[in-house]
C-alpha cells in the first residue's frame, strides 16, 4: 500500500512541476504559493511518503531526469533590415555650356 501512495504522490508532483515549469530547487512554501493550496501536495502526504520535501525533489530528479535538464532558450527572431531612406529628388538647373577657351596670341620674336 505504501508504494502505491508514494507513486501517486510522485506522479502528482511530476504533473505540477512539468505543468507550471517549476525548478527542482524550489522550496515547499514557494511551491504552495504557485500551485495553490487546494491543488498542492499537503505536508502530511509528503512526510508519510518521503519523510521530507528534499527527498521528494530528489526522487523527481531520479525518476524524471527531463525535469532537471536545462531548458533550451528560445532563439531571438532576426531583426528585419531597416528600409532604405529615400531622399526626395530635386530637379537641378542645367549647367551653362562651357565657354570656348581663348588661345593666347603667338608670341612675337624681336630680332
For the segment 39-65, what is each residue's pLDDT rounded down to a tens digit?
999 999 999 999 999 999 999 999 999
Q: What share of the chain has pLDDT > 70, as a percent? A: 95
Q: How far apart are CA 46 and CA 55, in angstroms?
A: 9
Q: What's the whole-model pTM score?
A: 0.61
39 found inside a domain: yes
81 found inside a domain: no
User: Which residues form the domain of 17?
Assistant: 2-67
Cβ atoms 10, 59 nearer than 8 A:
yes
34 found inside a domain: yes
Q: How far apart are CA 34 and CA 29, in angstroms?
A: 9
Nine-digit cell string for 71: 531548458
Instruction: Give the DSSP H or E segment for 30.
Output: helix 28-35
Nine-digit cell string for 25: 530547487
What are the tens digits of pLDDT across the range 80-91? 888 888 777 777
Amino acid at each position: 500500500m505504501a508504494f502505491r501512495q508514494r507513486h501517486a504522490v510522485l506522479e502528482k508532483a511530476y504533473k505540477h512541476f512539468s505543468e507550471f515549469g517549476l525548478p527542482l530547487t524550489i522550496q515547499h512554501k514557494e511551491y504552495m504559493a504557485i500551485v495553490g493550496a487546494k491543488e498542492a501536495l499537503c505536508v502530511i502526504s509528503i512526510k508519510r511518503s518521503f519523510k521530507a520535501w528534499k527527498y521528494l525533489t530528489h526522487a523527481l530528479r531520479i525518476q524524471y531526469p527531463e525535469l532537471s535538464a536545462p531548458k533550451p532558450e528560445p532563439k531571438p527572431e532576426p531583426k528585419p533590415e531597416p528600409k532604405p531612406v529615400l531622399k526626395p529628388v530635386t530637379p537641378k538647373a542645367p549647367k551653362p555650356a562651357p565657354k570656348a577657351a581663348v588661345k593666347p596670341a603667338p608670341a612675337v620674336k624681336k630680332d
